Amino acid sequence: MVNIKVLDKGSVELMSNTSDGDLLVVNAARCSFDKAHKNFAINDTKLINYLAKHKHLLPFRHPSATIRIVAPLFVLRQLGKHQVGFSWSEVSRRYIKSEPEFYIPEQWRKAAANVKQGSEGIVEDEHYTSMARYKMSIGGSLDDYHRLLDYGVCAEQARMVLPQSMYTTTVTTGTLLGWHHMYTQRTDPHTQLETQEYAKAIGKIMEELFPVSWEALCQQPS
């Protein structure tokens, strides 16, 4: 199975998928005429391109892929805004007390001057003051988390002190169309760069699984 590293400790990993891929798309489309093909043919590529171009999108809802995503909380919350066509299961720190891991960026970006969100350029941090403060904050939160557990506080409340940079894991099942919608939205230049990295990695997996359908969908204007 495909496993792509993202950021410093994150990843996207293919767990399972619809085995007949692009063929399922065209057979779903042909269902209206009570027809189906056993093998993918050249004409099937033309049909998929036609479906995508003219927004006949229902056939693209039938194939699916299940991906294991290891990502910081703030990234996952952006990816998780896409609910149509998806089912999400996530690690719950209500039940586990294993040592949390945190995303450590390689550099800090400046706030964008022309928009309320986003970033541009790099913050000069010659003395690593920003990084030191960030790591200090994480260390303090982690220490508080362990202290609360030692005091007998339940895990579901102690977790409240952990920062958004903490890594979590999900198993996410989505339709081909659902993954494409997430991909187009989260590779937009206005999306946070860390989230774009995950969307691009997911796109690589989907391109490999459904090469004809993925190309046809990506060629259409958003």
Whether 186 sits among the annotated catalytic residues: the reply is: yes
Q: What is the DSSP string of the chain?
A: --EEEETTTEEEEEEEE-TTHHHHHHHHHHGGGT---SS--HHHHHHHHHHHHTT--GGGGS-EEEEEEEEEHHHHHHHTT--TTEEEEE--TTT--PPP-B---SS-EEEPSSSSS-EEEE---TT-HHHHHHHHHHHHHHHHHHHHHHTT--HHHHGGGS-TTBEEEEEEEEEHHHHHHHHHHHTSTTS-HHHHHHHHHHHHHHHHHSHHHHHHHHTS--
- List 68, 93, 159, 186, catalytic entry: 186
List the catalytic residues: 186
